[in-house]
Amino acid sequence: MEQFCLSFQVGQQDENKLLRDFLKEKQISKGALIDIKFNGGALHVNGSAVTVRYVLHKGDTVEVFFPKEEPSEDLIAEAIPLDIVFEDEYVLVVNKPAGMASIPSREHRHGTLANAVLGYYQLKEICATIHIVTRLDRDTSGLMLIAKHRHAHHLFSLQQKEFGVKRRYEALVHGELTGEASSAGGKVDAPIGRKDSSIIEREVRDDGQRAVTHYEVLRIGSDWSHVTLRLETGRTHQIRVHMAYIGHPLLGDSLYGGSDVAGMSRQALHSCELSFFHPVKEREMTFRCSLPKDMKKVLGES
Protein backbone atom coordinates (compact mmCIF):
# COMPACT_ATOMS: atom_id res chain seq x y z
CA MET A 1 0.00 0.00 0.00
CA GLU A 2 1.38 3.40 -1.02
CA GLN A 3 1.71 6.21 1.49
CA PHE A 4 -0.49 9.24 1.14
CA CYS A 5 1.61 11.97 -0.48
CA LEU A 6 1.12 15.61 -1.41
CA SER A 7 3.33 17.29 -3.99
CA PHE A 8 3.93 21.03 -4.51
CA GLN A 9 5.92 23.12 -6.98
CA VAL A 10 7.78 26.11 -5.54
CA GLY A 11 7.22 29.39 -7.34
CA GLN A 12 9.06 32.70 -7.33
CA GLN A 13 6.94 33.99 -4.43
CA ASP A 14 8.34 31.24 -2.18
CA GLU A 15 12.04 31.76 -3.04
CA ASN A 16 14.22 31.57 0.11
CA LYS A 17 11.29 30.59 2.30
CA LEU A 18 11.77 27.95 4.99
CA LEU A 19 10.03 24.67 4.20
CA ARG A 20 8.33 24.88 7.62
CA ASP A 21 6.67 28.19 6.72
CA PHE A 22 5.78 26.98 3.24
CA LEU A 23 4.00 23.91 4.64
CA LYS A 24 2.17 26.01 7.21
CA GLU A 25 0.77 28.10 4.37
CA LYS A 26 -0.37 24.84 2.75
CA GLN A 27 -2.35 24.17 5.97
CA ILE A 28 -0.16 21.28 7.10
CA SER A 29 -0.38 21.60 10.86
CA LYS A 30 2.45 21.50 13.39
CA GLY A 31 0.91 18.29 14.76
CA ALA A 32 1.01 16.71 11.30
CA LEU A 33 4.70 17.61 10.94
CA ILE A 34 5.47 15.99 14.31
CA ASP A 35 3.57 12.89 13.18
CA ILE A 36 5.56 12.83 9.94
CA LYS A 37 8.86 13.15 11.80
CA PHE A 38 8.30 10.42 14.37
CA ASN A 39 5.85 7.97 12.80
CA GLY A 40 7.23 6.99 9.43
CA GLY A 41 6.54 10.00 7.22
CA ALA A 42 9.08 12.03 5.24
CA LEU A 43 9.73 15.42 3.66
CA HIS A 44 11.47 15.38 0.27
CA VAL A 45 12.68 18.18 -1.97
CA ASN A 46 13.67 17.16 -5.48
CA GLY A 47 13.69 13.53 -4.36
CA SER A 48 15.97 13.94 -1.34
CA ALA A 49 15.00 13.86 2.35
CA VAL A 50 15.14 17.25 4.08
CA THR A 51 14.07 18.87 7.36
CA VAL A 52 11.64 21.73 7.89
CA ARG A 53 14.64 24.09 8.02
CA TYR A 54 15.38 23.57 4.32
CA VAL A 55 15.47 26.85 2.35
CA LEU A 56 13.33 26.63 -0.78
CA HIS A 57 14.24 27.76 -4.29
CA LYS A 58 12.07 28.46 -7.30
CA GLY A 59 11.43 25.25 -9.24
CA ASP A 60 11.85 22.90 -6.26
CA THR A 61 9.45 19.96 -6.01
CA VAL A 62 8.26 19.40 -2.45
CA GLU A 63 6.80 16.02 -1.50
CA VAL A 64 5.14 15.37 1.85
CA PHE A 65 4.79 11.68 2.74
CA PHE A 66 2.34 11.12 5.58
CA PRO A 67 2.63 8.12 7.93
CA LYS A 68 0.58 5.08 7.02
CA GLU A 69 -2.75 4.92 8.80
CA GLU A 70 -3.99 1.88 10.66
CA PRO A 71 -7.75 1.43 11.10
CA SER A 72 -9.13 0.72 14.53
CA GLU A 73 -9.07 -2.94 15.52
CA ASP A 74 -12.73 -2.54 16.48
CA LEU A 75 -13.71 -1.67 12.89
CA ILE A 76 -14.35 -4.75 10.77
CA ALA A 77 -13.83 -4.64 7.00
CA GLU A 78 -16.82 -6.05 5.12
CA ALA A 79 -17.48 -6.78 1.45
CA ILE A 80 -20.60 -4.62 1.12
CA PRO A 81 -21.34 -3.01 -2.27
CA LEU A 82 -20.87 0.75 -2.42
CA ASP A 83 -22.65 3.17 -4.75
CA ILE A 84 -19.61 5.33 -5.55
CA VAL A 85 -20.50 8.65 -7.18
CA PHE A 86 -16.94 10.04 -7.33
CA GLU A 87 -13.47 8.99 -6.27
CA ASP A 88 -9.91 10.28 -6.58
CA GLU A 89 -6.75 9.92 -4.50
CA TYR A 90 -8.11 12.21 -1.79
CA VAL A 91 -11.88 11.87 -1.50
CA LEU A 92 -14.75 9.45 -1.90
CA VAL A 93 -18.37 10.48 -2.53
CA VAL A 94 -20.95 7.73 -2.02
CA ASN A 95 -24.73 7.45 -2.23
CA LYS A 96 -25.77 5.81 1.05
CA PRO A 97 -28.99 3.80 1.11
CA ALA A 98 -31.58 4.25 3.85
CA GLY A 99 -31.23 1.67 6.61
CA MET A 100 -27.43 1.77 6.70
CA ALA A 101 -25.73 3.48 9.65
CA SER A 102 -22.74 5.71 8.92
CA ILE A 103 -20.53 4.23 11.66
CA PRO A 104 -20.72 1.19 13.96
CA SER A 105 -22.27 1.41 17.40
CA ARG A 106 -22.21 -0.89 20.40
CA GLU A 107 -25.46 -2.48 19.23
CA HIS A 108 -24.63 -2.56 15.51
CA ARG A 109 -20.98 -3.40 14.76
CA HIS A 110 -21.63 -4.69 11.24
CA GLY A 111 -23.22 -3.51 8.03
CA THR A 112 -22.38 0.18 8.32
CA LEU A 113 -20.97 2.47 5.67
CA ALA A 114 -17.66 2.55 7.57
CA ASN A 115 -17.45 -1.27 7.42
CA ALA A 116 -18.16 -1.15 3.68
CA VAL A 117 -15.61 1.60 2.97
CA LEU A 118 -12.87 -0.20 4.91
CA GLY A 119 -13.61 -3.37 2.96
CA TYR A 120 -13.32 -1.39 -0.27
CA TYR A 121 -10.04 0.17 0.82
CA GLN A 122 -8.53 -3.21 1.59
CA LEU A 123 -9.70 -4.61 -1.74
CA LYS A 124 -8.12 -1.69 -3.62
CA GLU A 125 -5.03 -1.61 -1.35
CA ILE A 126 -5.74 1.95 -0.27
CA CYS A 127 -3.68 2.86 2.79
CA ALA A 128 -6.31 4.69 4.83
CA THR A 129 -8.72 4.45 7.70
CA ILE A 130 -12.20 5.96 7.79
CA HIS A 131 -12.65 9.74 7.82
CA ILE A 132 -16.32 10.63 7.34
CA VAL A 133 -16.77 14.34 6.63
CA THR A 134 -20.57 14.50 6.25
CA ARG A 135 -22.49 11.92 8.27
CA LEU A 136 -26.11 10.89 7.73
CA ASP A 137 -28.60 9.24 10.08
CA ARG A 138 -29.22 5.53 9.55
CA ASP A 139 -32.56 6.09 7.80
CA THR A 140 -31.53 9.14 5.78
CA SER A 141 -30.38 8.33 2.26
CA GLY A 142 -28.08 10.16 -0.13
CA LEU A 143 -24.68 11.69 -0.69
CA MET A 144 -21.87 11.47 1.86
CA LEU A 145 -18.33 12.85 1.67
CA ILE A 146 -15.41 10.77 2.95
CA ALA A 147 -11.78 11.89 3.13
CA LYS A 148 -9.15 9.27 2.35
CA HIS A 149 -6.58 10.61 4.80
CA ARG A 150 -6.56 12.48 8.08
CA HIS A 151 -4.90 15.50 6.46
CA ALA A 152 -7.60 15.70 3.78
CA HIS A 153 -10.13 15.38 6.61
CA HIS A 154 -8.38 18.24 8.41
CA LEU A 155 -8.68 20.45 5.32
CA PHE A 156 -12.40 19.67 5.00
CA SER A 157 -12.88 20.43 8.70
CA LEU A 158 -11.46 23.90 8.08
CA GLN A 159 -13.93 24.31 5.21
CA GLN A 160 -16.83 23.22 7.37
CA LYS A 161 -16.03 25.93 9.91
CA GLU A 162 -16.51 28.45 7.09
CA PHE A 163 -19.59 26.61 5.72
CA GLY A 164 -17.59 25.60 2.64
CA VAL A 165 -19.08 22.09 2.49
CA LYS A 166 -22.68 22.54 1.35
CA ARG A 167 -25.53 20.03 1.27
CA ARG A 168 -29.03 20.23 -0.10
CA TYR A 169 -31.78 17.83 0.94
CA GLU A 170 -35.20 16.83 -0.28
CA ALA A 171 -37.89 15.74 2.14
CA LEU A 172 -41.56 14.79 2.28
CA VAL A 173 -43.40 16.35 5.21
CA HIS A 174 -46.90 16.01 6.61
CA GLY A 175 -49.47 18.63 5.71
CA GLU A 176 -49.61 21.52 3.30
CA LEU A 177 -47.02 24.26 3.69
CA THR A 178 -48.94 27.41 2.75
CA GLY A 179 -48.62 31.15 2.67
CA GLU A 180 -45.12 32.55 2.39
CA ALA A 181 -43.60 29.08 2.53
CA SER A 182 -45.40 27.84 -0.57
CA SER A 183 -44.45 30.86 -2.68
CA ALA A 184 -40.98 31.96 -1.64
CA GLY A 185 -39.80 29.43 0.91
CA GLY A 186 -39.21 29.83 4.59
CA LYS A 187 -36.62 29.74 7.35
CA VAL A 188 -36.55 28.13 10.77
CA ASP A 189 -34.14 29.81 13.17
CA ALA A 190 -34.54 27.94 16.47
CA PRO A 191 -31.87 26.54 18.84
CA ILE A 192 -31.61 22.77 19.23
CA GLY A 193 -30.47 20.75 22.24
CA ARG A 194 -30.76 17.25 23.66
CA LYS A 195 -34.11 16.37 25.16
CA ASP A 196 -33.78 15.82 28.92
CA SER A 197 -35.65 12.52 28.86
CA SER A 198 -33.70 10.95 25.96
CA ILE A 199 -30.11 10.29 24.90
CA ILE A 200 -31.18 10.26 21.24
CA GLU A 201 -33.98 12.75 20.76
CA ARG A 202 -33.39 16.47 20.23
CA GLU A 203 -35.76 19.40 20.60
CA VAL A 204 -35.98 23.14 20.15
CA ARG A 205 -35.00 24.72 23.47
CA ASP A 206 -33.76 28.10 24.65
CA ASP A 207 -30.45 26.73 25.95
CA GLY A 208 -29.70 24.81 22.75
CA GLN A 209 -27.19 25.58 20.01
CA ARG A 210 -28.15 27.96 17.22
CA ALA A 211 -29.71 26.12 14.29
CA VAL A 212 -30.98 27.57 10.99
CA THR A 213 -32.80 25.67 8.25
CA HIS A 214 -33.97 27.15 4.93
CA TYR A 215 -36.68 25.37 2.98
CA GLU A 216 -38.65 25.76 -0.23
CA VAL A 217 -41.80 23.95 -1.31
CA LEU A 218 -41.45 22.02 -4.56
CA ARG A 219 -44.87 20.37 -4.69
CA ILE A 220 -47.98 19.93 -2.54
CA GLY A 221 -49.90 16.65 -2.47
CA SER A 222 -53.14 15.58 -0.82
CA ASP A 223 -51.71 15.39 2.69
CA TRP A 224 -47.99 16.06 2.22
CA SER A 225 -45.53 18.61 0.88
CA HIS A 226 -42.33 17.95 -1.08
CA VAL A 227 -39.64 20.37 0.07
CA THR A 228 -36.00 21.11 -0.56
CA LEU A 229 -33.84 22.21 2.37
CA ARG A 230 -30.48 23.87 2.97
CA LEU A 231 -28.72 24.09 6.34
CA GLU A 232 -26.77 27.02 7.72
CA THR A 233 -25.76 24.89 10.71
CA GLY A 234 -25.26 21.17 11.22
CA ARG A 235 -26.99 20.09 14.42
CA THR A 236 -27.96 16.48 15.10
CA HIS A 237 -31.42 15.72 13.61
CA GLN A 238 -31.71 19.38 12.62
CA ILE A 239 -34.11 19.01 9.68
CA ARG A 240 -36.25 16.47 11.51
CA VAL A 241 -36.50 18.65 14.64
CA HIS A 242 -37.17 21.89 12.77
CA MET A 243 -39.86 20.45 10.51
CA ALA A 244 -41.63 18.91 13.51
CA TYR A 245 -41.28 22.22 15.38
CA ILE A 246 -43.25 24.11 12.68
CA GLY A 247 -45.93 21.40 12.65
CA HIS A 248 -44.79 19.47 9.57
CA PRO A 249 -42.84 16.39 10.66
CA LEU A 250 -41.24 14.19 8.03
CA LEU A 251 -43.26 11.29 6.68
CA GLY A 252 -42.25 8.06 8.42
CA ASP A 253 -40.34 9.86 11.19
CA SER A 254 -41.95 8.23 14.22
CA LEU A 255 -39.35 9.75 16.60
CA TYR A 256 -40.56 13.27 15.83
CA GLY A 257 -44.29 12.74 15.26
CA GLY A 258 -44.38 11.52 11.67
CA SER A 259 -46.34 8.49 10.48
CA ASP A 260 -46.21 6.04 7.58
CA VAL A 261 -47.65 7.25 4.29
CA ALA A 262 -47.75 5.03 1.20
CA GLY A 263 -45.27 2.63 2.79
CA MET A 264 -42.86 5.40 3.81
CA SER A 265 -41.69 3.70 7.01
CA ARG A 266 -38.48 5.70 7.51
CA GLN A 267 -37.95 9.45 7.67
CA ALA A 268 -38.46 10.75 4.13
CA LEU A 269 -35.18 12.60 3.90
CA HIS A 270 -32.57 12.42 1.14
CA SER A 271 -29.22 14.21 0.73
CA CYS A 272 -29.57 15.07 -2.96
CA GLU A 273 -26.73 17.53 -3.56
CA LEU A 274 -23.20 17.93 -2.18
CA SER A 275 -20.80 20.78 -2.99
CA PHE A 276 -17.29 21.48 -1.75
CA PHE A 277 -13.99 23.07 -2.72
CA HIS A 278 -11.51 20.29 -3.43
CA PRO A 279 -8.66 21.09 -1.01
CA VAL A 280 -5.93 19.56 -3.18
CA LYS A 281 -7.15 20.08 -6.75
CA GLU A 282 -8.38 23.54 -5.73
CA ARG A 283 -11.66 23.64 -7.63
CA GLU A 284 -15.35 23.61 -6.78
CA MET A 285 -17.10 20.28 -7.16
CA THR A 286 -20.84 19.53 -7.06
CA PHE A 287 -22.56 16.13 -7.10
CA ARG A 288 -26.24 15.24 -7.29
CA CYS A 289 -28.28 12.06 -6.98
CA SER A 290 -31.95 11.39 -7.60
CA LEU A 291 -34.55 10.41 -5.03
CA PRO A 292 -34.70 6.76 -3.92
CA LYS A 293 -37.61 4.52 -4.92
CA ASP A 294 -39.59 4.82 -1.68
CA MET A 295 -39.78 8.61 -1.90
CA LYS A 296 -40.56 8.49 -5.63
CA LYS A 297 -43.43 6.14 -4.88
CA VAL A 298 -45.09 8.70 -2.64
CA LEU A 299 -44.66 11.29 -5.40
CA GLY A 300 -46.20 8.89 -7.93
CA GLU A 301 -42.98 8.67 -9.93
CA SER A 302 -41.55 5.47 -11.36
Catalytic residue IDs: 137
**Helix (H/G/I), strand (E/B), else coil: 183:** helix
Q: Residue 49 phi/psi, 5° resolution?
A: -70, 135
What is the greatest pairwise CA distance in the chain?
70
Could you tell me which residues come within 8 angstroms of residue 38 by beta carbon, excluding any fewer than 6 positions away? none
- CB distance 238 to 267 below 8 Å: no
- 40 φ/ψ sector (left φ>0, alpha ψ -120 to 50, else beta): left
Single-letter residue type at 241: V
User: Using CA atoms, how far apart are residues 139 and 267, in angstroms rounded to an integer?
Assistant: 6
Could you tell me the CA-to-CA distances from 73 to 66, 87, 151, 214 in Å, in that order?
21, 25, 21, 40
Q: 62: number of CA atoms within 13 Å, CB side?
A: 24
- CB distance 239 to 211 below 8 Å: no
DSSP 64-79: EEPPPP---TTSPP--
Q: Enumerate the H helices of 28-83 as residue ranges.
A: 30-38
Name residue 167's beta-bridge partners. 274
Q: Residue 212 phi/psi, 5° resolution?
A: -130, 125
